[in-house]
């Protein structure tokens, strides 16, 4: 509020006849947004221009008071001040009701924060680059755009499953990481020259091998133990007829 009050003093110094009201708005919670809207509506003045220039980025994983990931809540949900229009029909605005899902965890780790920050920035840059052109990215880079959309759908689906399914979280985490990374590299490749557009996908292709290696080792150990169990049972079966025999079960080192 100190910066806002300083700006108010500067404006009044330039022109003492204008009216300047300073209101506090915390975008981290819908409760605070409603309180700001109530204070604004109490002024009984029309809303002509709304500029949302507040946001956070690269913050560690944490939840807002509404149970939403802090970066998404502040940068995307908070600025949607639909309560500022008393009559949406008059303003020509139709906004669906906000759906707040309160979960203990969404996705831990820095990868989620990077994807949530990087993809909106890349989309904004893509819009700026093509807004005055007669062609769209769908026409020039159809595979990249559809790849981004498909990967984003998988990411959202995996995120929803992770929020509601407590088991298999490790597998869902791998799916989120792979699909989220693919959505980002699809957008990055659009900005690169055609001769280098394949490079982000080559880097991304290493990711499944890095994630899958421990999983393959666990599968290999499980198969190895199952085979040894079968051998042990067969040895014991024939031992009943051929006399005492010893079959020692071995285990792979961890």
Judge if 119 and 64 occupy the same domain.
no
Contact 60, 104 (CB under 8 A): no
| 116 in Cβ contact with 61 (< 8 Å) | no
Q: Of 197, 218, 240, which one is at a domain's C-terminal end?
A: 197
| Other Cβ atoms within 10 Å of 176 Cβ, number | 24
Distance between CA atoms of residues 56 and 89, nearest Å: 32
* Number of domains present in the structure of the chain: 2
In the chain the first and final C-alpha atoms are separated, in Å, by 57
CA distance 58 to 159: 19
Which residue matches tokens 């093509």? 130
- CA 220 to chain CA centroid, nearest Å: 33
- State the Cα angle at 142 between 137 and 145, rounded to 5°: 70
pTM of the model as a whole: 0.42
The verdict on 97 and 134 lying in the same domain is no
Are residues 1 and 98 both part of a single domain?
A: yes
Candidates 186, 115, 174; CA nearest to 147 is: 186
Task: DSSP for 51-90, please give it.
Answer: -------SPPS-B-TTSSBHHHIIIIITT--GGG-S-HHH
Residue 127 and residue 97 share a domain? no
Residues 27, 172: Cα–Cα separation, whole Å: 30
Whole-number pLDDT of residue 50: 73
36, two tokens: 């700001």
Could you write out the DSSP letters of every residue in 222-252? Answer: HHHHHHHHHHHHHHHHHHHHH----------
Q: How far, in Å, CA of 69 to CA of 197, rounded?
A: 32
Residue 168 DSSP label? T
Name residues of the chain where pLDDT drops below 70: 76-112, 166-170, 208-216, 237-254
Q: Are 165 and 87 contained in the same domain?
A: no
pLDDT at position 9 is 87
pLDDT of residue 170: 66
Residues 127 and 168 occupy one common structural domain: yes
Please give the residue range of the domain that contains residue 151: 103-197
How many Å apart are CA 181 and CA 157, to the nearest integer?
Answer: 15
Task: Say yes or no: 31 and 126 in one domain.
Answer: no
- What distance in Å separates the CA atoms of residue 189 and residue 195, rounded to the nearest whole number? 10
Same domain, residue pair 4 and 66: yes
C-alpha count within 13 angstroms, C-beta hemisphere, residue 191? 14
Instruction: Show the tokens assigned to 247.
Output: 């079959």
């Amino acid at each position: 509020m100190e910066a806002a009050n300083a700006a108010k003093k500067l404006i009044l110094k330039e022109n003492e006849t204008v009216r300047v009201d300073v209101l506090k708005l915390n975008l981290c919670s819908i409760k605070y947004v409603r309180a700001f809207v109530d204070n604004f509506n109490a002024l009984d003045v029309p809303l002509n221009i709304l500029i949302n220039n507040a946001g956070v980025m690269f913050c560690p994983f944490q939840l807002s008071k509404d149970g939403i990931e802090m970066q998404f809540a502040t940068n995307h949900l908070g600025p949607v001040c639909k309560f500022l229009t008393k009559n949406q029909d008059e303003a020509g605005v139709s906004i669906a009701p906000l759906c707040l899902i309160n979960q203990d965890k969404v996705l831990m780790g820095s990868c989620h924060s990077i994807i949530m920050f990087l993809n909106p920035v890349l989309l904004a840059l893509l819009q700026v680059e093509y807004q005055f052109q007669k062609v769209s990215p769908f026409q020039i880079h159809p595979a990249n755009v559809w790849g981004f959309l498909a990967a984003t759908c998988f990411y959202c689906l995996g995120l929803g499953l992770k929020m509601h399914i407590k088991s298999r979280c490790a597998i869902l985490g791998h799916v989120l990481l792979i699909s989220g990374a693919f959505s980002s590299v699809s957008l990055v490749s659009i900005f690169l020259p055609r001769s280098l557009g394949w490079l982000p996908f080559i880097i991304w292709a290493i990711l499944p091998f890095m994630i899958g290696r421990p999983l393959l080792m666990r599968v290999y150990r499980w198969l190895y133990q199952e085979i040894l169990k079968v051998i042990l049972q067969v040895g014991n079966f024939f031992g009943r007829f051929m006399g005492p025999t010893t079959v020692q079960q071995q285990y792979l080192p961890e």
